[in-house]
Amino acid sequence: MDLYKSTIEKLESRNVKIEEIAELVMFLQKAYIEDLTMEESIQTVKDVLSKREVQHAVLTGIFLDEATEKNLVPEPLYSVINKDAGLYGVDETLALAIVNVYGSIGLTNFGYIDRLKPGLINKVDELGKDSSVCNTFLDDLVGAIAAAAASKIAHTSEKK
């Protein structure tokens, strides 16, 4: 049971590539760390995804999205998740568990890209608008992984 491999595969099956998350990290950190490379960003995203807490949150969130798509979720929860009701906060709660892995400094970055929706997050969001697709959790999970990776880079950068 390789949780790391399963997590990567599950993300890919939902059209999310590690490289695209790494681009979000570049978007967040390029202004602060000029010499940040895509290579380093990709490695850091992989480091984040190797954390047990992150794997559990990602697998659970994507399961909830897929169960909603497959009509396995009973009402009234089905409608709440499917409409990504503005008041449903469980997606943000799972995202927070990911962000927290590298401390609270990631909070700001998470909120920033979650609302600005650059690159991959916009793509995930648009895909979710198809009536057969539910990405209620996925966009928050992806933003949280990028924010956590940005925090890790900030921590590492300071030690240099």
Binding region for a copy of itself (CB under 8 A): 1-3, 6, 32, 52-53, 56-57, 59-60, 63-64, 67, 72-77, 79-80, 86-90, 92-97, 100-101, 103-105, 107-112, 114-116, 154-155, 158
Token pair for 33: 């760390």
In the bound state with a copy of itself, the residue whose beta carbon lies nearer, of 19 and 104, is: 104
Residues in Cβ contact with 79 at an 8 Å cutoff, skipping those fewer than 6 apart: 85
Nearest approach in angstroms of CB 91 to a copy of itself is 8
- Distance (Å, rounded) from C-alpha 159 to C-alpha 146? 20
Question: In whole angstroms, how close is the CB of 11 to a copy of itself at the nearest point?
Answer: 14
CA distance 57 to 81: 16
Contact 145, 98 (CB under 8 A): yes
Whether cis (ω within 30° of 0) applies to the bond prior to 76 is yes
Q: In the bound complex, what is the minimum distance in angstroms from residue 138's beta carbon to a copy of itself?
A: 15
Q: Looking at beta carbons only, is 17 or 155 nearer to a copy of itself?
A: 155
| Pick 45 or 137: Cβ nearer a copy of itself | 137
SS3 151: helix
Of 160, 156, 124, nearest to 21 by C-alpha is 124
Q: Which is nearer to a copy of itself, 19 or 147 (CB)?
A: 147
Question: Minimum CB separation from a copy of itself for residue 18, in Å?
Answer: 19
Q: Which is nearer to a copy of itself, 101 or 142 (CB)?
A: 101
